[in-house]
Amino acid sequence: MSKLIQKVLLTWVLMTGLIASPVTFAEANVRVSISDAVAMVQQRFNATAIKTDTVRDGDHVLYRIRLVSSDRSRVWTVTVDAQTGQVQ
């Protein structure tokens, strides 16, 4: 996948994830941005993010990030805690 396509895809993923977000970040103690979380899991799992979602679990903000492997053989979802950066 070309770098331009990756950048366009990442921008689209981030924009749609933020627009669809039911969470007001001013109310939450968010230390990790969604773009940082996406970059972190893409590098950690050698994958490309194809969808993001921001949800609240009690007083925690969580990012659900759907990934596709670099060879496109696997799709899975990881959850990142926006306060700690912990990947679940």
Short-list 74, 33, 39, CA closest to 54 = 33
For the chain, what is the mean pLDDT?
Answer: 83
Measured CA distances, 47 to 7, 43, 56, 65, 69 (Å) = 14, 7, 25, 11, 4
Q: What is the pTM of this model?
A: 0.70
Give the domain extent around 27.
Answer: 3-81
Structurally, the chain folds into a number of domains equal to 1
The larger pLDDT score, comparing residue 87 to residue 59, is at: 87
Give the CATH number of the domain where residue 56 resides. Answer: 3.10.450
For residue 43, the surrounding DSSP H or E stretch is helix 34-45
pLDDT of residue 60: 85
- Which pLDDT score, from 0 to 100, does residue 87 have? 96
Per-residue pLDDT at 71 exceeds 90:
yes
DSSP run (H or E) holding 18: helix 3-19
The token pair at 40 is: 């972190």
87 lies in a domain? no
